[in-house]
């Protein structure tokens, strides 16, 4: 009986370790819902993505909509110690160059792709990357928080 209890405890621990890898958090999606998030060179078995300075990171977000959307813009912030700092994107218009063709219909599944430059000037810190796709009314279509570490 003791061996059985020991086995159950070890199994529970192992399941907990594999489930508790990287977690992408919804931070206020209103008119849409992300179904998957991919970040290049990110080990999803860890608790955070490593973002190497002086490199580019590709992010892919699959999402669905609850209503039609005419325009989409990208807003990205890094949250360090509770303070949000903007990441400047070369092209915040998500209807151009991201795989989205606007207007968007609620009957489709969309795949959004972007490249985030991780500048050498960024400090080596833990950061929560807050990635938002906003509609023409400045409402979040999709908002996802990504735990990361800049190295």
Q: How far is CA 142 from CA 9, 113, 145, in A?
A: 38, 13, 10
Residue 89 in any domain: the answer is yes
Residue 78 in any domain: the answer is yes
Residue 71 in any domain: the answer is yes
Per-residue model confidence as pLDDT tens digits over 127-137? 999 999 999 99
Cα 46 to Cα 147: distance, rounded to the nearest angstrom = 10
Residue 115 in any domain: the answer is yes
The share of the chain scoring above pLDDT 90, in percent, equals 79
Confidence at residue 87, expressed as pLDDT on a 0 to 100 scale: 86
Residue 46 in any domain: the answer is yes
Residue 143 in any domain: the answer is yes
CB atoms within 10 A of CB 61: 25
Cα 48 to Cα 73: distance, rounded to the nearest angstrom = 25
| Strands in 82-139 per DSSP E | 83-87, 109-118, 126-134
Q: How far is CA 22 from CA 46, 66, 77, 118, 138, in A?
A: 6, 26, 19, 20, 28
Confidence of residue 103 (pLDDT cuts 50, 70, 90): very high
Domain at 34, CATH number: 2.60.40.770
Q: What pTM was computed for the model?
A: 0.83
The boundaries of the domain holding residue 140 are 21-150
CB atoms within 10 A of CB 89: 16
Domain count, the chain: 1
Which pair of tokens denotes residue 52? 């190497």
Per-residue model confidence as pLDDT tens digits over 41-74? 999 999 999 999 999 999 999 999 999 999 999 9
Contact 49, 118 (CB under 8 A): no
């Amino acid at each position: 009986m003791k061996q059985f209890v020991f086995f159950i405890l070890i199994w529970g621990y192992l399941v907990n370790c594999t489930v508790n890898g990287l977690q992408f958090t919804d931070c206020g999606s209103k008119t849409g819902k992300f179904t998957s998030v991919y970040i290049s060179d990110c080990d999803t078995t860890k608790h955070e993505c490593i973002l190497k300075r002086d490199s580019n990171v590709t992010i892919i977000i699959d999402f669905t909509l609850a209503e039609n959307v005419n325009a989409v813009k990208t807003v990205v912030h890094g949250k360090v110690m509770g303070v949000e700092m903007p990441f400047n994107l070369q092209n915040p218009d998500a209807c151009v160059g991201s795989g989205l063709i606007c207007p968007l219909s609620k009957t489709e599944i969309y795949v959004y792709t972007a490249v985030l430059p991780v500048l050498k000037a960024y400090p080596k810190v833990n950061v929560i990357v807050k990635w938002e796709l906003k509609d023409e009314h400045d409402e979040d279509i999709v908002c996802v928080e990504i735990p990361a570490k800049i190295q």
